[in-house]
Structure 1
Amino acid sequence: MDVKKNIKEFEKILAGTGCRLVAVSKTKPNDLILKAYETGFKDFGENRIQDLVAKYEILPKDINWHMIGHLQSNKVKYIVSFVHLIHAVDSFKLLKEINKQGAKVSRVIPCLLQIHIADETTKFGLDEKELFALIESPEFKELQNVQIKGLMGMATNTDNKNQIRAEFKYLRTLFEKVKNEYQQPGIKMEELSMGMSGDYDIAVEEGSTLIRVGSAIFGARNY
């Protein structure tokens, strides 16, 4: 797998779309990440805290680390000092913990709210009602050390492209509603994180600003 070539290919694909790549480096060795980094690429995604911390400690410090997996509240403290963006904030409890830990390191932590858009109960995320209840709550307005930068979602794992497109379209609609109707401190809607190796092309067409791609860059995952 030619990592450098694959990174360049994705940069060509995304040129002019307003969408950027997050290379999902989970389970991948540091030497492969460095090959991508040598092209000037700096945005990498991990879904396990222990792997993210280990890679941060060893790899170049100007890498933008994205936490893309389900995040447990008790693990937040390990990444708040350096994480670039937390993609999968799926509860108010988690957001409050990120705020608490962010205050301890004097950082405002950029976060995306994860929305449940898939026809699968195994995926995490807020529903539409929970999303608006969260951002309208007085308690949210008191959080000083988090900033909601956008939304994230995962489409259903299906070959039905019409279904995937409808799910991404729905997420884009929610993104635009928050962006247009909730202009307040703590919310700065810039990022719509949707699309992975199997459906990124549809996501880009539907307005994604960040696609999370692993196997199409690094090859099949090693478990």
Structure 2
Amino acid sequence: MAMGGHGVATYTAFAALRTPFSAYYSSTLSRILGPALRPPLAFAVSSRPAIPSVFVMSASTSSDADIAVDIASNIASVRQRMGDAVAANDRPPGSVRLVAVSKTKPLEFLQAAYENGQRYFGENYAQELMTKASELPDDVSWHFIGPLQSNKAAPLVKAVGLNKLACIETVSTVKLAEKLNRAVETMNKDVEEKKKLGIYIQVNTSGEESKSGVSPGCEVADLVKKISEECSWLSIDGLMTIGAPGDDSCFDILRLCRDEVASILDRDPNDLELSMGMSGDFEVAIAKGATSVRVGSTIFGDRDYSNNPK
């Protein structure tokens, strides 16, 4: 879709997609296994050795009961569901990335996921990502998926490094882009192999005030133009949205945004990622064209926000 003057046709297309669908597909996996002291079970994933369940003391219950989360089984189930959704929509095998959202979860959970073949992890808090990145193997690719204050951009880039920090998915202001760009430029000084930092443009497809991101249409276009012209150390690799629960038209809107961004950047739309879909709706997102889904509680269990590392 050509940008033109960001005219009426584009606005009409976005507005029409704002009508929520009458049906919402939602499914979740069982995340808690048996009684508190149930022995761990072992599950094999592909040809890898079986990894036992991971146990953690629940900080969210007054009884402090032990809660067992079988990460190996959960990951296998999510991958199976992803594969089924890919096949059902005639998409190529392996065309959708699984980003395991591990915010507030202990390192042991991430290690269990890693041992079961998971290499992409998503974190919402800068300090938590910096801490975990220093503990996990270097072949882990980290996606930052939460709100990032501009004053934390440089510390995050420098602490994690360009080899491990694969993407900042939540860029929605020129200020943040400029901070990230300067940090990457500094990292590339005096090194032979120069690297860019991948970013996604976060789009508020639901129009909710509680959601971050730029609005579809002209705001997305203007931001993409400025970043592409002024931030040479950033690579616009795709778009990301959270969307509204039960409104999968948000996924259609993000696809329209991708078409316009591709036109601005003179690229094939299929070269740009669509990060959309979470635990409750990732299969619907895959049907709508997601190339990256962010799944957290279905893999790691419910989160405890009592002691968030910002």
Calculate the TM-score normalised by the size of structure 2.
0.66
- 1:14/1:20 contact within 8 Å kept: no
SS in 2 for 1:79: helix
Q: Provide the C-alpha distance between the structure 2 equivalents of 1:25 and 1:170, rounded to a whole number of angstroms.
A: 27
**C-alpha distance in 1 between matches for 2:288 and 2:276:** 9
Q: Select 2:238's aligned residue among 150, 154, 164.
A: 150
- 1:129 and 2:215 correspond: no
Confirm whether residue 6 of structure 1 aligns to residue 74 of structure 2: yes
C-alpha distance in 1 between matches for 2:271 and 2:152? 26
Say yes or no: does 1:179 pair with 2:179.
no
CA contact (8 A) 1:25 1:214 kept: yes
CA-CA distance at 1:181 after TM superposition: 4.6
Asked whether the 8 Å contact 2:258–2:272 carries over to 1, the reply is no
Cα distance, 1:117 vs structure 2? 0.8
Instruction: State the 1:219 CA deviation.
Output: 0.5
Q: How far 1:180 sits from its partner (Å)?
A: 4.1
Q: Do residues 46 (structure 1) and 123 (structure 2) align?
A: yes
Q: 1: distance between equivalents of 2:131 and 2:225?
A: 37
SS of equivalent to 1:192: strand
Between Structure 1 and Structure 2, the one with more helix by share is 1
Tell me the residue number matched to 1:168: 251
Mapping for residues 2-151 of structure 1, pairs under 5 Å: 2-15=70-83, 16=86, 17=91, 18-80=95-157, 81=161, 82-106=164-188, 107-127=195-215, 128-137=217-226, 140-151=228-239
Q: Distance in 2 between matches of 1:52 and 1:102?
A: 17
Unpaired runs of at least 5, structure 1? none
1:70 is paired with a residue whose SS is: coil
Q: 1:200 to 1:188 in 2, by over 3 A?
A: closer
Moved more, 171-180 or 110-119: 171-180
Contact 1:150 1:188 in 2 (8 A): no
Deviation, 1:177, is: 2.6
Q: Following TM superposition, by how much is the alpha carbon of 1:143 offset from its aligned partner in structure 2, in angstroms?
A: 1.9
4+ aligned runs moved over 4 Å, structure 1: none
Q: Distance in 1 between matches of 2:105 and 2:224?
A: 36
- Secondary structure of the residue aligned to 2:134 is helix
Question: Which structure is larger by alpha-carbon Rg, 1 or 2?
Answer: 2
SS of the counterpart of 1:155? coil
- Aligned-partner residue type, residue 232 of structure 2: Q
* Post-superposition offset of 1:176: 2.2
| Aligned counterpart, 1:213 | 295
Identity of aligned residues (%): 36
Is the contact made by 1:148 and 1:188 (CA closer than 8 Å) also made in structure 2? no
CA contact (8 A) 1:149 1:188 kept: no
Q: Which amino acid aligns with 1:74?
A: N
TM-score (norm 1): 0.90
In structure 2, distance between residues paired with 1:188 and 1:56:
30
